[in-house]
A and B are shown apart, each in its own frame.
Chain A
Amino acid sequence: MHQLIRKIAFSSIVAIFVAAVILPAAALAKTPYPNYYISPDNFYLKVPAPYVPDGFISFDDKPEGGLKKAQDLFIDKNNNLYISDTENKRVIKTDSNGNILKLFGVSEDTSDPGILGSPRGVFVDEEGMVFVADTGKERIVQYDEDGRYVKEFGKPDSVLLGADFKYQPTKIVIDSRKYFYVVNQGDQKGLMMLDSEGGFRGYFGGNRVEATFATTLIRLLYNKEQRAGSYVKLPYSFNNVSISPDGYVYASTTGLSSNQIRKLNAVGGDVYPAAGYNFKDRSFDYDSLQQNFTDVAVDADGNMTIIDKSYGRMYQYDVSGRMLYAFGSNGIGKGLFGVVTAISVDNNGYLYALDELRGGIHKFRPTEFTKLVHKANSFYNEGKYEESFGPWEEVRKRNNFYELALVAMGQTNLRQEEYAQAMDYFKNAYEKTGYSDAFYEFRRLYVKEHFDFIATSIIVVLVVLFLLFKFRSRMKIRMSDKTRKIAVIRAWLATWRFIKLSFRVMTKPFLGFEELRYEDKGRWKHAFILIGLYVGANILNIFIVSYLYESIPIQFVDWQQVILFPFLYWVIFSTVNYMLTTIMGGEGRWRDVFIATAYCFTPYIFFSIPLTLLTHVLTFKEARFYDLFDLVLLIWMVFLFYVNVRETHSYETGQAVGVTLLTGIGSVIMIGLYLVLYGLGLNVIDFVEQVAREAFFVGS
């Protein structure tokens, strides 16, 4: 009996606990949103959840009542939360578990100057003074720690601001000099900087007008009078402002296509480490919504978390502007946002996101993975590579794909002169610059070690080549007519003649093309073989190119394109050329044009493969060397095409140049025309299909 009573008592205690405590939404780290990393080359890789939902702070069940369209959230140094509960005209101070500590801006006395109109921004300084951007009453209000009204800063008065200046402060931060940085709604000139007395000191930061092709064109073509009256594009205004522990001001903007987040130094210059960076996440390209970054939270290590209101996704970047990971999502359910308006970080690294629609704050707890990344990264960013290696190795154990860990470990190995290992890390991270550096050192060491062998082999090869070249003429084999009749040998001889011919066309084009046309040495068969070889060389190059010089990993090569495009070049150039020359009195026949054009590709067939093989000993430092040869090949081919036009059709030099240029332009037009017609055709078919389907479906 005694036991029964105890059991009952205990179970009711449990019940009370269950009812009263905000339980962690996920004692288990399963997140209702995706977690991934975006590599610099826009490759998406899964990461273990960096943050897991850790409860939802809501005041719906409290006597003070729930939030109504709350717009801002601030966390002070004691991990207390300040929420500007906009439509309830108050600011709430709570602890990190959602227990309300104080209300600001509410009073029984209607004459109290502290009563808020429409608070949309809140900031707390080091001394615990609370500043509220009271948009509705066009002022900034200061309260002390106990919620007592101290003073207000009204609309700043300055001749600089002009007569029709509208003051609607929505967000506010204060720097160590006690200067205010105020987001004035719709003000395109930047943040308003006010001194500690509320006097206007000038604009700070500020976006520029983004020049688009159309606006540039209008500026170029129209004079000022013509432009007057037309739509004037103004720079976008900031939507939010935050200040980091080390005193940088972060401002976010809606609508820009890059620099959506700015990190402003004391004089208002954008010092974000990846200048011109576009924060847009291309995995949302399938959808029409534009991302809208509305808030920034920066922790003590300088890690910056930004939040996108459109999709509810959060992105964290480290102090040097490298992406750490993306997570979070809009949706229905715990840990998902309705409409998120603000984000903040506390001393323990927990993230708090204010949800306007659901009327509460989502709390996110950093996981072991994130803590490790932060630890390793802070070492790394301070230049303590050796210390960072251990934590990075732990990170890599948890996620083999995590490129930052791989790059960091590669860099450390590079400094420790373990080049082969470094190359391996860089290769796995797909970090080519690092790989190139490591390879440079590796190659240097290798050559140093094996100098004798390498030097000897080079000399031997040179000598052999020289000898071959010298005795080439003496090696001519005399063959009897009888031997010449043997089928195999005849085939070999024909091949040899073909090779010699193509070599001649390549090296002595004026003679060669004339030979093809007027000595009737051109064969359809040979043209196809050459194009086949050209396609073959293209394919082979993809296989044999070194890791450093490959344009995309072989898995993503579009083989249809690789095979079809060379063939199409040939057909298009030849067709356009033939059509042009027919009107312009060219002598070449249909077949001559096609065959001669095929011969233009010979330099690529002969030299691209050795050049590609060369990439295996080149680093990025010698990239110019490679590019130069590539360019030489291209010029050579264009030159051949010009000679081809000139010789095949017996043109004068000027005429030939003109036709060559026209052929190029004509080909571009033809491709464009094809694309347009193809697109139109698809649309027409789709249209007919839809109409038909609808008719059938409605009819049935």
Chain B
Amino acid sequence: MAHKWITPKRIGNIIKIVVALILIGWFIWWIKPTGELDLQFSTNKEITYTHAAKPDGGELPLSGGMKVVADDGNLELSVDLERQLFAIRDKQSNVVWTSSPDVTGDAKINEITGAMVSSPFIFSYTNNQKEAVISSIMKEKATWKAYTIPGGVQVKYDIKSLKIAFTAEFVLEDGGFYINLPVEEIVEKDINKLVSIQPLPNFGAAKQGDDGYIIVPDGTGALTYFNKSHTQNDKRGYSQWIYGVDPTFDPNYGPNNNEQVLVPIVGMVKKDGGYLQTLEKGSEDAKVFSLPPGAANLEYYRGGFELFIRKSYVTRFGEVGASFTRYEKSPIMTDRSIRYDFVSGPDVTYTELADKVSDRFMPILTNEKASNPPLIQLFHGVESRGDSYSKRLETMTTFDEARIILEKLQSEGVNNMIAELKGWYQNGYYGNLPKRFPVEGDFGGEKGLRDLLSWTKEKGIETSLEDNLIEVFRGEKVVSLRTDTIRKPDNEQYILRPEGPTGWYRWRTERHWLNPYVIDEEYFEDDIEKLKDMGVTSVNYRHFGEKLISDYNSHGPLRRGETKAFFESWINKTKEQLGSAGVYYGNAYAAKAADRVLDIPLSTSNDYMLDVQVPFLQILYHGKRPYYSKAINRSDDPTLELLKSIEYGAIPSFELTYRETTQLRYTDYDLLFSSKYTDWLSTIKKAYTAWEEAIAPVAGLAITDHAVITNGVFRTTYSDGTEVWTNYNEQSYSGEGMTVKPLDYAVRKGGGAK
């Protein structure tokens, strides 16, 4: 009977129903809410966090005023447990730093601001995942218990009104003052969830008009003076993520061209001394702030760290729907520890402070070479814009032409240089990333590359390859865009767009980032093998030192700290297997692991809080890691850029092509506007001479002073006494026995190592 039931008409109907169901199903799948996923971060790793120290005595009585709790011979830590006032005294000079300013008699302080100023911790929390409330220990009338621990004191805070509790340890150790926040001691019993904590936010707070400044590590570094007015920014102050904003959490719609914070160090100099605080653990998810009087209604200059337990992101309903801020559900699990270093004296500068922490912060490499000559970057080619049918590979330099360029430079007297090859991948610079092999045939193929490498080896030109493990561009056939790429907390795919000339994104080009687990499992080892086989001895990695990203991809979620660990392990493996590795821009974790830093920033952001630019970053890095300027020919004003790199001790670099740059007009690489090597020969020779005179002799030395002599004239002093003077003015400068020609530099040799 069944066969009679199955009539063509019925079959047709069934097919229609099935198709309709599939369509409806697809539609439901498509509009499925893309809320935040409940992800378990760092599941497949055994991570042990530093536990809270065991008290070696009983509970301390809270009353009794200021009591000394630790003394390491140089520093003395005393605490008033009842008022939660912490003080550090330099025993030699008797300079005292306190955790909160003395507000007695200040008419502007009311009950609330008083509670904020006197709190050792200002924190923010959320009870609905939507907005955060700023509060403090004192404002919430928290209770606390204190215990003695080795080297200091442990305080367990219980914020009863919010049902939040956490523990902080204040200890003197290793010549510095530490604040530790054991992550396992953070307890949230209710819907109130911690968003961030600012430890000792009012440490050394200064009033408008005081002597001194806050040292802000933005780009090269900058100073916020207490005696300048900072009212231009509606008193919002400066607050930026360390290592730049996490791209997957970035709420900004447009590109950001400001410099980012490369080192987790902030500090302050006042009339009788200064201090630097280093965020030794937990720097991946923290901000640096430098606030003017009036910010949060407190009439003090304050500088410090804000440590994040939960970050916020922006999500939307559909493409055009309104956007909402959300705070993530799961906390960021990491150790958090801040170290304070103090230097006392009446004329302490940021230079002395930086020199003091530099050795510990950036250990010297064991295989440091004697000389690090200028860098020549050779750009091989890139595909034009347009869809997959109309794009065309623009060859800018073949491997043979690269050799001609280097030969020409040598014949012009540039005897000492290193080279970097950019865009050697299949189909050029962005090509088929993450697939890079085989080496593009139009440039000369693998054979051409091998020949070039053996030729440079013979000539003594150390040559690195630029490599990009992270980006995915037209990677459809190579990786799964759905499962292998990085996602935002709302499960949207992270999309990276190139910036166009008008300062806006090119919306038609989409790139993605690859999940580090995928890189580690599927690419890294293979690529190292291939590079090794071709005779490559050095690689410079894109992105490792520029951006730090977290990933909400359910196949392998990562916090920034875990991504950082991947970056470090890859750099180390490359050094082991090939020889050396470099990074760009130079975020501290990457610079520590790598052998060199390319494209080091030579400027600071245009924030109104940053009064004067200083080479703080360079003072930390100089003599520890060779660092190179951005390609001089890419800059807005090559003369000034070269001067700046001389002033800041950065080894000059150039990005060259053999053919006319005009070919790049229709590509995504059109921000390189002049690169033909013949156009730059004279500038390269000038830069080479400058390097020989002003940069090479001081390689390996520390910068001991950097001074503004007059408007536009600077002096950088190195540890052997050598002085490099730079004059940015259009008039020549004479003074202190030195004459510096306009837009030029001059060197005064030092007496020898100090």
**A interface residues with partner B (beta carbon < 8 Å):** 7-8, 11, 14-15, 17-19, 21, 23-36, 44-49, 52-53, 60-61, 281, 283, 286, 326, 329, 332-336, 358, 367-369, 397-402, 406, 428, 553-560, 686, 688-690, 692-694, 696-697, 700
B498 to A: closest C-beta gap in Å: 12
Q: Which of B257, B390, B664, B728 has the most CB of A within 10 A?
A: B390
Does B463 have its Cβ within 8 Å of any Cβ on chain A? no
Can you report 15 residue pairs joining A to B where beta carbons are below 8 Å apart? A17-B708, A30-B636, A34-B501, A34-B504, A61-B228, A281-B502, A332-B608, A334-B607, A555-B386, A556-B385, A556-B386, A686-B319, A690-B321, A696-B32, A697-B33
- Point out the residue from B608, B636, B662 that lies within 8 Å of A369, measured CB to CB: B636
Does B384 have its Cβ within 8 Å of any Cβ on chain A? yes
Whether A27 and B33, one on each chain, are in contact in the complex, defined by CB atoms closer than 8 angstroms, is no
* Distance between Cα atoms of A548 and B504 in the complex (Å): 31
Chain A's closest residue to B394 (CB) is A555
B356-396, CB under 8 A of A: which get 1 and which 0?
00000000000000000000000000001111011110000
Does B679 have its Cβ within 8 Å of any Cβ on chain A? yes
**Interchain residue pairs A-B with the least CB separation, the first 9:** A34-B503, A49-B636, A400-B661, A29-B637, A333-B606, A696-B33, A46-B501, A29-B636, A283-B502
Chain B's closest residue to A690 (CB) is B318
User: Which A residues lie within 8 Å of B708 (CB)?
Assistant: 14, 17-18, 23
Whether A401 and B661, one on each chain, are in contact in the complex, defined by CB atoms closer than 8 angstroms, is yes
Q: Which of B501, B638, B640, B680 has the most CB of A within 10 A?
A: B501
User: Which B residues lie within 8 Å of A8 (CB)?
Assistant: 346-347
B592-612, CB under 8 A of A: which get 1 and which 0?
000000000011011110011
Chain A's closest residue to B346 (CB) is A8
- Point out the residue from A44, A358, A554 that lies within 8 Å of B501, measured CB to CB: A44
Does B671 have its Cβ within 8 Å of any Cβ on chain A? yes
Does B74 have its Cβ within 8 Å of any Cβ on chain A? no
Given known A-B contacts A33-B503, A697-B35, A401 and B636 have beta carbons under 8 A apart? no
Chain A's closest residue to B602 (CB) is A28
Whether A28 and B641, one on each chain, are in contact in the complex, defined by CB atoms closer than 8 angstroms, is yes
Chain A's closest residue to B387 (CB) is A559
* Distance between Cα atoms of A686 and B317 in the complex (Å): 11
Whether A46 and B671, one on each chain, are in contact in the complex, defined by CB atoms closer than 8 angstroms, is yes
Whether B710 and A47, one on each chain, are in contact in the complex, defined by CB atoms closer than 8 angstroms, is no
A542 to B: closest C-beta gap in Å: 9
* Distance between Cα atoms of A699 and B636 in the complex (Å): 53
Does B509 have its Cβ within 8 Å of any Cβ on chain A? no
* Distance between Cα atoms of A558 and B640 in the complex (Å): 43
* Distance between Cα atoms of A697 and B644 in the complex (Å): 52
Whether A559 and B673, one on each chain, are in contact in the complex, defined by CB atoms closer than 8 angstroms, is no
Whether A7 and B35, one on each chain, are in contact in the complex, defined by CB atoms closer than 8 angstroms, is no
Which residues of chain B from 634 to 665 have a CB within 8 Å of any chain A CB? Answer: 635-641, 644, 660-662, 664-665
* Distance between Cα atoms of A558 and B390 in the complex (Å): 8
Chain B's closest residue to A402 (CB) is B673
Chain B's closest residue to A395 (CB) is B674
- Point out the residue from B232, B385, B679, B712 that lies within 8 Å of A555, measured CB to CB: B385
* Distance between Cα atoms of A334 and B728 in the complex (Å): 20
Whether A332 and B233, one on each chain, are in contact in the complex, defined by CB atoms closer than 8 angstroms, is yes
B171 to A: closest C-beta gap in Å: 34
Does B707 have its Cβ within 8 Å of any Cβ on chain A? yes
Does B349 have its Cβ within 8 Å of any Cβ on chain A? yes
User: Which B residues lie within 8 Å of A554 (CB)?
Assistant: 390, 392
Whether B637 and A368, one on each chain, are in contact in the complex, defined by CB atoms closer than 8 angstroms, is yes
Given known A-B contacts A29-B635, A45-B670, A283-B502, A358 and B661 have beta carbons under 8 A apart? no
- Point out the residue from B231, B258, B500, B640 that lies within 8 Å of A60, measured CB to CB: B231
Given known A-B contacts A11-B349, A401-B673, A554-B390, A44 and B500 have beta carbons under 8 A apart? yes
Whether A333 and B670, one on each chain, are in contact in the complex, defined by CB atoms closer than 8 angstroms, is no
Whether A29 and B674, one on each chain, are in contact in the complex, defined by CB atoms closer than 8 angstroms, is no
User: Which A residues lie within 8 Å of B389 (CB)?
Assistant: 559
Whether B674 and A398, one on each chain, are in contact in the complex, defined by CB atoms closer than 8 angstroms, is yes
User: Which A residues lie within 8 Å of B709 (CB)?
Assistant: 14
* Distance between Cα atoms of A17 and B707 in the complex (Å): 11
* Distance between Cα atoms of A24 and B606 in the complex (Å): 12
Whether A557 and B603, one on each chain, are in contact in the complex, defined by CB atoms closer than 8 angstroms, is no
Does B225 have its Cβ within 8 Å of any Cβ on chain A? yes
Does B26 have its Cβ within 8 Å of any Cβ on chain A? no
Whether B384 and A555, one on each chain, are in contact in the complex, defined by CB atoms closer than 8 angstroms, is yes
Whether B603 and A26, one on each chain, are in contact in the complex, defined by CB atoms closer than 8 angstroms, is yes
User: Which A residues lie within 8 Å of B635 (CB)?
Assistant: 29-30, 48
Does B435 have its Cβ within 8 Å of any Cβ on chain A? no
8 other contacts beyond A28-B640, A400-B674, A556-B390, with CB at 8 A cut-off?
A17-B711, A18-B612, A29-B636, A30-B603, A44-B501, A334-B607, A689-B30, A693-B33
Whether B603 and A401, one on each chain, are in contact in the complex, defined by CB atoms closer than 8 angstroms, is no
Whether B636 and A46, one on each chain, are in contact in the complex, defined by CB atoms closer than 8 angstroms, is no
Does B49 have its Cβ within 8 Å of any Cβ on chain A? no
User: Which B residues lie within 8 Å of A14 (CB)?
Assistant: 707-709
Whether B258 and A700, one on each chain, are in contact in the complex, defined by CB atoms closer than 8 angstroms, is no
Chain B's closest residue to A282 (CB) is B502
Chain B's closest residue to A687 (CB) is B318
What's the tally of chain B residues with a CB closer than 8 Å to chain A?
Answer: 75
User: Which A residues lie within 8 Å of B500 (CB)?
Assistant: 44, 283
Which residues of chain B from 676 to 696 have a CB within 8 Å of any chain A CB? Answer: 676, 679-680
User: Which B residues lie within 8 Å of A402 (CB)?
Assistant: 673
* Distance between Cα atoms of A601 and B512 in the complex (Å): 44
User: Which B residues lie within 8 Å of A336 (CB)?
Assistant: 606
* Distance between Cα atoms of A686 and B679 in the complex (Å): 53
Given known A-B contacts A19-B227, A689-B31, A48 and B660 have beta carbons under 8 A apart? no
Chain B's closest residue to A539 (CB) is B389
Whether A24 and B712, one on each chain, are in contact in the complex, defined by CB atoms closer than 8 angstroms, is yes
User: Which B residues lie within 8 Å of A44 (CB)?
Assistant: 500-502
User: Which B residues lie within 8 Å of A693 (CB)?
Assistant: 31, 33, 317-318, 321
Chain A's closest residue to B639 (CB) is A368
- Point out the residue from A60, A401, A406, A700 that lies within 8 Å of B33, measured CB to CB: A700
Given known A-B contacts A46-B673, A400-B662, A28 and B644 have beta carbons under 8 A apart? yes
Whether A19 and B390, one on each chain, are in contact in the complex, defined by CB atoms closer than 8 angstroms, is no
User: Which A residues lie within 8 Å of B504 (CB)?
Assistant: 34, 283, 286
* Distance between Cα atoms of A631 and B605 in the complex (Å): 59
Whether B662 and A27, one on each chain, are in contact in the complex, defined by CB atoms closer than 8 angstroms, is no
Does B666 have its Cβ within 8 Å of any Cβ on chain A? yes
* Distance between Cα atoms of A510 and B229 in the complex (Å): 89
* Distance between Cα atoms of A428 and B231 in the complex (Å): 48
* Distance between Cα atoms of A31 and B662 in the complex (Å): 23
Given known A-B contacts A555-B392, A559-B390, A690-B318, A36 and B502 have beta carbons under 8 A apart? yes
* Distance between Cα atoms of A554 and B232 in the complex (Å): 49
User: Which B residues lie within 8 Å of A47 (CB)?
Assistant: 673
Which residues of chain B from 722 to 745 have a CB within 8 Å of any chain A CB? Answer: 728
* Distance between Cα atoms of A7 and B349 in the complex (Å): 12
Q: Which of B231, B607, B711 has the most CB of A within 10 A?
A: B711
Whether A335 and B637, one on each chain, are in contact in the complex, defined by CB atoms closer than 8 angstroms, is no
B10-54, CB under 8 A of A: which get 1 and which 0?
000000000000000000001111010000000000000000000
Chain A's closest residue to B234 (CB) is A332
Chain B's closest residue to A27 (CB) is B728
Q: Which of A23, A358, A553, A555 has the most CB of B within 10 A?
A: A555
Chain B's closest residue to A36 (CB) is B501
Whether A553 and B666, one on each chain, are in contact in the complex, defined by CB atoms closer than 8 angstroms, is yes
Whether A27 and B640, one on each chain, are in contact in the complex, defined by CB atoms closer than 8 angstroms, is yes
A50 to B: closest C-beta gap in Å: 9
User: Which A residues lie within 8 Å of B321 (CB)?
Assistant: 690, 693-694
* Distance between Cα atoms of A700 and B490 in the complex (Å): 13
* Distance between Cα atoms of A7 and B707 in the complex (Å): 12
Whether B660 and A400, one on each chain, are in contact in the complex, defined by CB atoms closer than 8 angstroms, is yes
User: Which B residues lie within 8 Å of A25 (CB)?
Assistant: 606
Chain A's closest residue to B392 (CB) is A555
* Distance between Cα atoms of A7 and B352 in the complex (Å): 14
User: Which B residues lie within 8 Å of A689 (CB)?
Assistant: 30-31, 318
Whether A61 and B661, one on each chain, are in contact in the complex, defined by CB atoms closer than 8 angstroms, is no
User: Which B residues lie within 8 Å of A428 (CB)?
Assistant: 660, 662, 665
User: Which B residues lie within 8 Å of A19 (CB)?
Assistant: 225, 227-228
